[in-house]
Homo-oligomer: A and B are copies of this chain.
Amino acid sequence: MRPVAVVGIGKTAFGAFPDRTLRSLAVEAGEKCMTDAGVSPSQIEAFYLGNFAGPAFVGQNHLAPYIAGSLGLTGVPCTRFEAACASGGSAFFHAVSSVAAGLNDIVLVAGVEKMTSQTTPKVTEILAGAGDMAGEGRAGATFPALFAMIARRHMHQYGTTREHLAAVAVKNHANGAKNPLAHMRKVITMEQALAGKMISEPLTVFDCSLISDGAAAVIIVPLERASEFTDLPVRILGIAQTSDYVALDAKADITTFWAVHEAAEKAYKMAHVSARDIEFAEVHDCFTIAEIIATEDLGFVKKGEGGWYALEGRTCLRAERPINASGGLKAKGHPVGATGVGQICDVALQIRGGAGELQLDRHSLGLAQNLGGSGATAVVTVMGGI
């Protein structure tokens, strides 16, 4: 396998954009990314698109060639990947694999979602399709309900508290406030987080990520060709996609995302690093409890200690291991199909040293973790400077 590098990144702002179409968002991210890498459409050999539910959100399917055509890309494989909230991560995983294996040299990966044209109840219904509709869905369990059950069990098993959850929200809001592309740029206090409107006990509105529109894109090439495109290549050191059962009741323990643990083990092994080497990470905080569990499953702390890790401030911007310096899904926003690719952009931006006010002190080895549904798909990527 050949080493692979990210040589271009591009993101739209994440937010609610009633005047923008899904296609215009994806095209903006793709064009920014091609400009960043100095690549023209005719050089691109394949297009990998992550999108969760374009057909349901905006009534358009067959999205890969639909977007590719507007980017000036025809005649190459253009493919949409759907893996719930890990759709972007899955597209990226397959793209990286194809370059590593020598199938392609210059590949464009994008993720996009346009959610805010639907009402919140309708969005909630569409998102529920990432769970087990024949079981959980029929019982009325939306995603806030599923993650509330996970949170309750984590509290029961490990003594995690609402303050632990709120600490994640406070931190991510603080980071997001400094991110010019974030959906919600608003600092909140612990008191505000704890007093938030209850959505699904114990999760308040501040424990839930946002419903957003947005797109992100990256260009990857074999490392040996990276210097043709950039002075700041970012190397993909390890990557893995794994899966688990969709239904929560099929899992042995709902306080852990086994697929994340497996993907992390594989990615660390490929990168020849261990969890303790990772300096910073963008993790999938679709709910605050998901960030707490991610820090455990990724091996940053022991099982059950994720809540304290957050509460003690050890994952803050200037602390020992910053988590979600971008603001995370909580504050940056969560346009579902874009999220996994956006995380790659955010980690690459840190490694390149271009994160402005959010630039971390240690930024040579970062990780992105993208989760699909309630853990049935996981993608973990370890990235570093050259």
Q: A: which residues have CB within 8 A of B?
A: 1, 21, 23, 47, 52-53, 55-56, 58-66, 68-69, 73-84, 90, 93-94, 97-98, 100-103, 126, 129-134, 137, 240-247, 250, 258-259, 262, 372-373, 376-377
Residues of B within 8 A of A102 (CB): 1, 101
29 contacts between A and B (CB under 8 A): A53-B55, A55-B56, A58-B133, A59-B133, A59-B137, A60-B133, A60-B134, A62-B84, A62-B129, A62-B130, A62-B131, A65-B246, A65-B373, A66-B132, A66-B246, A66-B376, A68-B243, A69-B246, A69-B250, A74-B242, A77-B93, A77-B242, A78-B243, A78-B377, A79-B83, A80-B81, A80-B82, A94-B94, A97-B98
For the complex, give the distance between the alpha carbons of A272 and B72 in Å.
Answer: 30
Q: How many copies does the complex hold?
A: 2
Residues of B within 8 A of A52 (CB): 61
B61 near A129: Cβ-Cβ < 8 Å: yes
For the complex, give the distance between the alpha carbons of A82 and B63 in Å.
Answer: 8
For the complex, give the distance between the alpha carbons of A73 and B75 in Å.
Answer: 34
Residues of B within 8 A of A75 (CB): 242-244, 258-259, 262
A61 near B79: Cβ-Cβ < 8 Å: no
For the complex, give the distance between the alpha carbons of A376 and B64 in Å.
Answer: 9
B103 near A83: Cβ-Cβ < 8 Å: no
Residues of B within 8 A of A130 (CB): 61-62
Residues of B within 8 A of A65 (CB): 83, 243-246, 372-373, 376-377
For the complex, give the distance between the alpha carbons of A74 and B259 in Å.
Answer: 8
Closest B residue to A23 by CB, please name it.
B134
B60 near A83: Cβ-Cβ < 8 Å: no
Of the candidates A63, A129, A131, the one having the most CB atoms from chain B within 10 angstroms of its own CB is A129
Find A243's partner among B73, B132, B243 (CB 8 Å cutoff).
Answer: B73
Residues of B within 8 A of A242 (CB): 74-77
Residues of B within 8 A of A58 (CB): 133
B98 near A243: Cβ-Cβ < 8 Å: no
How many whole Å from A163's CB to the nearest CB in chain B?
32
For the complex, give the distance between the alpha carbons of A258 and B65 in Å.
Answer: 13
For the complex, give the distance between the alpha carbons of A63 and B52 in Å.
Answer: 11
Known: A62-B246, A65-B376, A98-B101. 20 other contacts (CB 8 A): A53-B61, A55-B129, A61-B82, A61-B130, A62-B84, A62-B373, A64-B82, A65-B246, A65-B373, A66-B376, A68-B243, A69-B244, A69-B376, A74-B242, A75-B242, A75-B244, A75-B259, A75-B262, A79-B81, A80-B81
